[in-house]
Amino acid sequence: MKKLIEFRNIVKQFDDNIVLKGINLDINENEFVTLLGPSGCGKTTLLRILGGFLEQDQGEIIFDGAEISKVPAYKRPINTVFQRYALFPHLNVFENVAFGLKIKKTPKDIIKAKVDRMIELVGLDGFQKRDVTLLSGGQQQRVAIARALVNEPDVLLLDEPLAALDLKLRKEMQHELKRIQQEVGITFIFVTHDQEEALTMSDKIVVMKDGIIEQIGSPQEIYNEPKNEYVANFIGESNIVDGVMKKDYLVSFDDRDFECVDFGFKENEAVDVVIRPEDIKLLDRNKPSKLKGEVKSVLFKGVHYEIIVETQKGTSKTVTMHVLEDRDVYNQECGELMHASDFTMDIEDVSAITEQELIARANAQAWDKESENDISISGVEFKISDQPGRYPVTFKTHNGTLITVNVNVVAPKYVEDKTSNVGITAFDFYKTVDEIKESMAISVDLKTWADAYAWSLDDDEEIKISNVDFDFDPINIETGDYKITFSTEGREYKVHTTQYFEEGAKVSVDFGPEDIHVMHKTIKS
Amino acid sequence: MKRLKGLPSKLWLILLLAFMYLPIIYVVIFSFNDSRSLTHFTGFSLEWYEKMLDNSTMMESIYYTVVIAIIATVVSTIVGTITAIGLSKSRRAMKETITQINNLPMLNPEIVTAIGLMLFFTALNMRLGFMTLLLAHIIFCIPYVILSIMPKLRQLDDNLFEAALDLGCTPFKALYKVIIPQIKPGIISGALIAFTMSFDDFVISYFVTGPGINNISTMVYTSVKRINPSVNALSTIIVLAITIILVIVNIVPMIKERKKKKNEELA
Amino acid sequence: MKSFRRLVYPYLLWAIVFIVLPMLMIVFYAFTTEGNSVMTINFTLDNFFRFFSDSIFINVLIRSLKLAIITTIICIFIGYPSAYFMAKLKPNSQGLMVLLITLPMWINMLVRTYAWRGLLLESGLSPEIKVYIGMIYNFLPFMILQIYTSLSKLDQSLITAAHDLGCDNKMAFLKVTLPLSIPGIISGITLVFLPAVSSFFIPKLLGGGSYVLVGNLVENYFVTTGDWNFGSAISLIMTIVILISMYFTRKFDYSKEDR
């Protein structure tokens, strides 16, 4: 294959923003090349530089052996299919397609022949006289392709041309584009942020991020051997796990050693390990396997099920909830009912406590007995010092109804998990039967009442508490003590399988050495 | 190279602005002339401003212009808003009918609307004067208000109104709490258009007003037979007032925007 | 929701009484002569015969049309480049230019025309030229703003596409920008031609009575002579002439309704 285009160290800057940071890329004749990356990665800028609509700040573009940076757009043997097609609204289908040839003063009969042939190629025969603004998205797309191709360019640039189409049409156009490219036999450079599009159509995929090329390769190479975490994440779905390369062909993650097919890493190098969801097999618990786990969720995806398996629990903390009888205060004078509960609080939070927080933690409420309309709480009286102990708090309404509860100030008891570097804390608390029955989102309320909080021991950032486990039925609860466990997310694997497993089922997780793909860690800048 | 390229176009625009502002600058300068001449500036004085204040016809015309513009704006904005809301829910035929009728005064020469109203008022035996002047202004302002509100109503998400009803609003509460705030920009621009149309109107006012009742336009028209530099003084004041208003209208949002940005940066 | 439909009815009544009826009154007056009592209405075409049999009236009509057409053409030739250059400025400067162009329009037309009267008093120009200056001055902003709006709405990717398909700057302008800004020119024409053809205070203030247009005729017959029937007939003729001109202008518009 002959080299057609060479980008040499292309740099482009908009104001303070460096969009392309030295791009080097070769493109061959008759290749279908896809520039793939999220918006803002510089892929469209690179395309526009090649089209001649932008000029690079540094670097060269060699086209067919000649530097073309100074050649204006209208003299380059390159045509573009624009993102929103940019069809001329004052011209019909035929006139749009004929535009470029007319500019070149091609004889009329030749224009007619070429345009008609091109319209047929894109499957729009009979639409010649149509108004382009009245065509569907897919048809406009075809006109835009025909309008570009009729000029017989050496290269066709396509700037996210399928983005505006719906899913079914998009799939159809993917095949259509591939067919057209094979038929006309020229280079297509296609820009997209859709990895599936890239995998379907391309001969060569260029994965870009922040103005840098991350990886260049065939779809198979990119999918099976992503160079780093970024590419693995961007192309297809993957499970990415931190691991350590013990030696060649042996990698360790999740506290175990696994055989693999990768080599050439330093001994004990920290690596990212990728396992594709479709490469993992789930088996019943009694079968021998690599890891054991529990099914957390099952989604039906048409051809397969997407199952999330938890192989390691997250960090957790269990507290006791004391459920008491209701003890509403009734103010006969104005017919107001009022309610609040005792609660426990962290000694460290005392200094920053607000009235709003006290109202929420005590679940203080007032309402009219007749109408059951809520009444706002107008005053909170409290005197809490940062010494462990019991302190009274009084809530008041405008009409003078008041209720006093006790706050237990205690020193916090953390649970710290050194292996996952997560800390978690929560407190015992008191509630009444009615409060629990009335809760509309019990997990969220339990977190508030227990003041459950988890954080990373590395950087003190908050970590989401994803599980609240309890074994009571909130609708039929009675007085007594109940255990509640709060936990963070553990190690989870996404699995694609055609076999169904029930949520909560205990399963074995299995994969072979060839299913493990080890990558160098990306150095975070 | 690039700089030279833009030069002819900049020069053209500067000449254009010079043409647009020449008469305005002229009026301002000659309002301070100390002689009656309209061609020779003989010296600075405030004579014509004093004369203007003493001239009761002039002061009355300012009064009528402002009063009529305010009343016409308020009435036409209210009527126009109500009608536009009704229209947005009406059948096509009704929309078409109203649009066509509204187009009559907007697409016909003003003078035709003017004599039509004059014939109509006299046929009803109404004495031409303040009332007919005010009525005429309301009549020609409403179509413009409707025209500026309709697009905003068309952009409105149909579900908004239903969401308001769903959340417990009565239809009129929904109108007041949800629809009106959404179309407020249209209402404001409609009111602004109505006010300027009324404030600036000459042709229609000229035909439907009666003896003794003048707005600024008709006053200028009838008084130019004699040279009267007080008109320059009045014009200067109008120019000044409009410049101040436009500057405020255009700069205040800019300052607000900047403050907002600053606050966001701080946050 | 449908109950809101009822909100339209009061205005419908209002519009019929205050907009439609006055228009019908003009037609009624145009086809009758003075002295008709309510009891005996005699329809007649006399007013129209009178107009078309007198070369003075015909000349005034032709002069008005000529003036309006030339004013419109000059406005296009000054307005198009102005709007085009404006659309090429930086966004901030564009806003400022729009403001600067609009600002004089907020000042009373009479006042601005009055200013020109003083400015041109000793210029030695013919009344006709003075009227042209006044007309162009008053109506040019409408033309500029209409064309500017259509140019600034123009999708820039269309220009890029034209370059991609082999157009240099000049060709891109002729083949894409110009055809797509025609709707702006057409609405500019409407906004200039219509008031120009019927204007009566500009010729009166700047032409000094010696330059009579069809609008002045209408004014004369209503205000001075008091012959409302003939005045109505003249304004009806004027309206019809305008409608015909507008019809022909719209034919140039490529827009979809006409296709």
Band (C259; pLDDT cuts 50, 70, 90): very low
Identify whether residues A35 and A75 lie together within a single domain.
Answer: yes
Contacts 24+ apart (CB under 8 A), B222-225: B223/B57, B224/C114, B224/C117, B224/C205
Q: What is the pLDDT of residues A330-345, one digit of tens each?
A: 888 888 888 888 888 8
- Kindly identify which residue of chain A lies nearest to residue C172, measuring between CA atoms: A103
CA-CA distance, A435 to A426, in Å (whole number)?
19
Are A392 and A309 members of one domain?
Answer: no
In degrees and rounded to multiples of 5, residue A472 shows phi and psi of -115, 165
Report yes or no: A145 and A157 within 8 Å, Cβ to Cβ.
no
Q: What is the dihedral of CA A125, A126, A131, A137, to 10 degrees?
A: -40
Separation of alpha carbons B162 and B52, rounded Å: 57
CA-nearest of A456, A455, A481, A461 to A470 is A481
* Secondary structure of residue B33 in the 3-state scheme: strand
A116 and A183 in a single domain? The answer is yes
| Average pLDDT of every residue of chain C | 87
Smallest Cβ–Cβ distance between B90 and the set C8, C78, C86 belongs to C8
Q: pLDDT digits over A119-166, tens only? A: 998 889 999 999 998 998 889 989 999 999 999 999 999 998 888 788
A494 within a domain of the structure (yes/no): no
Identify the three-state secondary structure at position A442. helix
Q: Do B119 and C3 touch (CB under 8 A)?
A: no
Residues A201 and A259 in one domain: no
Chain B partners (3+ C-beta pairs within 8 A): C
Q: How far apart are CA B67 and CA B134, in angstroms?
A: 9
Residue from C163, C164, C168 to probe the interface with A (highest A Cβ count within 10 Å): C164
In a domain, A208, yes or no: yes
CB of C153 within 8 Å of any CB in chain A? no
Domains with residue ranges and CATH for chain C: 55-258 (1.10.3720.10)
A209 and A274, same domain (yes or no): no
Length of chain A: 525
Contact A82 C161 (CB under 8 A): yes
Q: Is A415 exposed, middle or buried (0-12, 13-18, 19+ CB in 10 A)?
A: middle
Kindly state whether residues A300 and A353 are assigned to the same domain.
Answer: no
Q: Is residue A173 part of a domain?
A: yes
Amino acid letter, residue A171: K
Read off the pLDDT of residues A186-221 as tens digits, 9 standing for 90 and up: 999 999 998 888 998 999 999 999 999 999 999 999
The CA distance from B26 to C70, in Å, is 27
The residues facing A518 across adjacent strands are A273
Measured CA distances, A251 to A247, A263, A391, B21 (Å): 7, 10, 55, 80
Q: Is A315 helix (H, G, I), strand (E, B) or coil?
A: coil
Percent of chain B at pLDDT exceeding 90: 39
At residue B2 the predicted structure's pLDDT band, cuts being 50, 70 and 90, is very low
Which residues does residue A204 pair with via DSSP β-bridges, in sequence order?
Answer: A33
Q: Give the tens place of pLDDT for each residue, A88-130.
A: 988 999 999 999 999 889 999 999 999 999 999 888 999 999 9
Distance from CA of B199 to the nearest CA of C (A): 8
By 3-state DSSP, what share of chain C in percent is helix, strand and coil, each rounded to 5?
80, 0, 20
Determine what percent of chain A is predicted with pLDDT higher than 70. Answer: 99
In this prediction, residue C36 carries a pLDDT of 54
Burial letters B31-41, b for 16+ CB under 10 A, else e: bbbeeeebeee
Q: Kindly determine whether residue B94 and residue C238, on different chains, have CB atoms separated by under 8 Å.
A: no
Other C-beta atoms closer than 10 Å to the C-beta of A255 total 9
Indicate the pLDDT class of residue A451, thresholds 50, 70 and 90: confident
Q: Would residue A381 count as lying in a domain?
A: yes
B57 burial class (0-12, 13-18, 19+ CB within 10 angstroms)?
A: exposed
- The residues near A263 (Cβ < 8 Å, ≥ 6 apart) are A248, A249
Angle made by CA atoms A149, A153, A155, in degrees to the nearest 5:
100
CA A464 from chain centre, in angstroms, equals 17
Contact between chains at A90 and C155 (C-beta distance less than 8 A) = no
Residue A424 sits in the same domain as residue A408: yes
Q: What are the C-alpha distances in Å from B99 to residues B89, B142, B143, B146, C13? A: 14, 12, 8, 9, 14
pLDDT of B3 reads 45
For the residues C101-105, what does the mean pLDDT come to?
A: 86
Its domain, for residue A150, covers 3-232
Q: Higher-confidence residue: C107 or A114?
A: A114
CATH number at residue A134: 3.40.50.300
Cβ(A336)–Cβ(A329) under 8 Å? no
- Measured in degrees and rounded to the nearest 5, phi and psi for residue A431 equal -145, 160
- Does the domain at B59-228 match CATH 3.40.640.10? Answer given as no
A413-427, B227-241, C103-117: which range is least confident on average?
A413-427
Same domain, A130 and A252: no
Contact status of B22 with chain C (Cβ, < 8 Å): yes
State whether C114 and B83 contact (CB < 8 Å): no
- Beta strand A204-209 with A32-36 is parallel
How does B64-89 read in b/e, with b if 16+ C-beta sit within 10 Å? bbeebbeebbebbbebbbbbbbbbbb
Total beta-carbon pairs less than 8 A apart between chain B and chain C = 207
Minimum-distance CB partner of C167 among A52, A74, A131: A74
| A201 in Cβ contact with A33 (< 8 Å) | no
Q: Is A126 inside any structural domain?
A: yes
The three-state (H, E, C) secondary structure of B161-186, written as one string: HHHHHHCCCCHHHHHHHHHHHHHHHH
Mean pLDDT of chain A: 88
Closest CA relative to residue A24, chosen from A4, A36, A8: A8
Tokens of B80: 């126009």
Domains identified in chain A, total number: 3
Three-point CA angle A160, A161, A166, nearest 5° = 105
| pLDDT at site A147 | 93
Angle between helix B47-54 and B230-266 (nearest 10): 100
CA–CA distance, A434 with A367 (Å, rounded to integer): 14
Any domain includes A477: yes
CATH number at residue A390: 2.60.40.10
B2, B100, B112, B144: best to mutate for the C interface, most C CBs within 10 A: B112
Q: Over range A441-466, report the average pLDDT.
A: 87
pLDDT at A361: 84
Q: Which residues of A touch C180 (CB under 8 A)?
A: 88-90
Same domain, yes or no: A194 and A263: no
Q: Pick the residue with more confidence: B170 or A151?
A: A151
Determine contact, residues C1/B171, Cβ cutoff 8 Å. yes
Measuring CA to CA, how many Å separate A118 from each of A143, A147, B126? 9, 8, 72
Residues 6 or more apart whose CB falls under 8 angstroms from that of A97 comprise: A115, A118, A119, A143, A146, A147, A150
As a whole number of angstroms, the distance between CA C259 and CA C252 comes to 11
Largest CA distance in chain B: 73
| Paired sense of beta strands A316-324 and A429-432, if any | parallel
Local confidence band at A524 (pLDDT 50, 70, 90 cut-offs) = low
How far apart, in Å, are the Cα atoms of A509 and each of A121, A220, A312, A518?
A: 50, 25, 12, 19
pLDDT surpasses 50 at C257: no
Distance from the C225 Cα atom to the nearest Cα atom in chain A, whole angstroms: 52
The ipTM estimated for the assembled molecules is 0.86
Q: Find where tokens 């007198």 sit.
A: C54
Q: Is the pLDDT of residue A52 over 50?
A: yes
Which residues fall within 8 angstroms of residue B208, CB to CB, at 6 or more apart? Answer: B114, B117, B118, B121, B128, B132, B133, B136
- Separation between Cα atoms, residue A406 and residue A95, nearest integer Å: 82
What tokens were used for C77?
């030739």
A117: left (phi over 0), alpha (psi -120 to 50) or beta: alpha
Q: What is the DSSP letter of A193?
A: S
Q: Please tell me the distance in Å from A35's CA to the nearest CA on chain C.
A: 20
**Could you tell me if A344 and A469 lie in one domain?**
yes
CB-nearest partner of B24 from C10, C115, C235:
C115
Report yes or no on whether pTM surpasses 0.90: no
CA distances from A428 to A468, B157, B231 (A): 14, 48, 85
A82 & A151 share domain:
yes
Place of tokens 């068309």: B154
pLDDT of residue C258: 38
Helix axes C127-152, B2-30, angle to 10 degrees: 130
Q: Please provide residue A254's backbone torsions phi and psi, each rounded to the nearest 5 degrees.
A: 50, 40
Across the interface, whether the CB atoms of C195 and B110 are under 8 A apart is answered yes
Q: Is residue A321 domain-resident?
A: yes
| CB-closest option in C3, C106, C116 to B23 | C116
* A494 DSSP β-pair partners: A308
Residue A60 placed within a domain: yes
Strands A269-275 and A239-247: antiparallel
CB contact under 8 Å between B82 and C16, yes or no, is no
Structural element, H or E, at residue A35: strand A32-36
Whether the pLDDT of residue A287 is over 80: the answer is no
